[in-house]
Amino acid sequence: MERSILGAIFGSLLGIGTLGGLALIGATPNPGPGNPEGNWRLLDPIIYENITIFPVVSSTGQDTSPFLTLDEGLSSGEVIVSEQGAAGLARTRDGRPVTVPQYNSGASVNQLVLINRSKRPLLLLAGELVSGGKQDRIIGKDRIVPVGSDPLPLDVFCVEHGRWTGASSQFGASKTIVHPSVREQAAVAQNQNEVWDAVRSGTLSKAKPSAGAAGQPAAPPPAPLSSVVIGDAIAAAAPTQAYAKIYEAGRVGASVDSFVEELQRRFNRATLGLKGERVVGVVVAYGGDVAWSDIFASGELFEHYWGKLLRSYAVEALARPTYRETAAITDAREFLRNLHGREVVESEPGVYRWREITEGRLSLIELESVTPKAMTLHRLLLHRTS
């Protein structure tokens, strides 16, 4: 943690401490031990159909109660998200009026305005969905919004391609985080067209050829959420291609619900009775390929996000080819190590430090708070599909 504080101070002195400022550091290793926040340990894998989940547990944890999450802030009215150029009044949950100042001249697909009127810094994760306005959007990057900040231009991506109108310019909590193929395009590729493609196709992961009869390649069984099934859902329930309507309603939603229910049952059984440890994250594999991990600074923070993260992993599993290989725990442990490669750093002095490290097809993104205490709030490591 001392190293984290020194890194934030050093970054500011180098001039990378302005909001949105980027620094490129070539071939710089990620400093510190594999787990700067405590001792991580993988539990035995939880296997169902083509997905394997390795719970990550720790005997230590940070106090993350000073931070507000997006769902909490939008539900209470302490956080306001609106289209650019919108002005008017909003109300908090207890009915108090809040003035929403006009920011910029007009609405923009890839930028909204956020106001944090709470007494806690606000934590945002890439891929969190806000619903309303002229079209539904997802947060483009992990970040922290400090207490008492001015109206903030917020980078977002559209996940509702066919609508640009709405009765209100305000956005509400959706309690949804998009599945990994979509989230990757926002958090790593930062490409709007790829975000739309991932919403419509379900997954951007390419099927691997497997040996069939006489050594000939054999196609895997079709995914339950194939592009045809998703297309039918769009035609029947989501003509504007709204993410939530595609993946939460009708046949698609029912398939995801039953998949999540069984995964949650197995997860509860596998993590019951832990003594002196808390689940702080997961490593996720599809078939034999370890693909994704989300790890948090505390068990409480993990529990807040777990429901919508689990659903997002389930959508990805259902959209990927249904191979039955099982990932090895040795491969999962690789997702707990530091990466050595090209590093990009973004920081806001006294608030947070964000960094991305790329090594081959792996990308590591860490969000570190500076105040009220230095800690890595969220760590995402993924194997890129593109």
In which domain, by residue range, is 259 found? 1-66+178-208+220-386
Structure tokens at 79: 């956080």
State the pLDDT at residue 313: 98
In a domain, 336, yes or no: yes
In a domain, 158, yes or no: no
3-state DSSP assignment of residue 158: strand
State the pLDDT at residue 123: 98
State the pLDDT at residue 63: 96
In a domain, 90, yes or no: no
Query: How many structural domains does the chain have?
Result: 1
In a domain, 88, yes or no: no
Closest CA to 264 of 204, 306, 294, 216: 306
State the pLDDT at residue 323: 72
Q: What phi, psi does 62 have (nearest 5°)? A: -90, 160
State the pLDDT at residue 206: 73
| Long-range contact pairs involving 262-269 (C-beta distance under 8 Å, separation at least 24) | 262/48, 263/46, 263/48, 263/51, 263/53, 263/310, 263/313, 263/314, 264/310, 266/46, 266/48, 267/46, 267/53, 267/55, 267/310
Could you read off the pLDDT tens digit of each residue along the chain, which spans 386 residues?
444 444 444 344 433 333 333 333 333 333 333 454 448 999 999 999 999 999 999 999 899 999 999 999 999 999 999 998 765 444 444 555 555 545 455 678 999 999 999 999 999 999 999 999 999 999 999 999 999 888 999 999 999 999 998 878 899 989 999 999 999 999 999 999 999 999 999 998 876 655 445 555 566 677 899 999 999 999 999 999 999 999 998 889 999 999 999 999 999 999 999 999 999 999 999 999 999 999 999 999 999 999 999 999 999 999 998 777 889 999 999 999 999 999 999 999 999 999 999 999 999 999 999 999 999 999 999 999 87
In a domain, 378, yes or no: yes
Distance CA 210, CA 287 (A): 12
Distance CA 158, CA 243 (A): 9
In a domain, 283, yes or no: yes
In a domain, 31, yes or no: yes
In a domain, 337, yes or no: yes
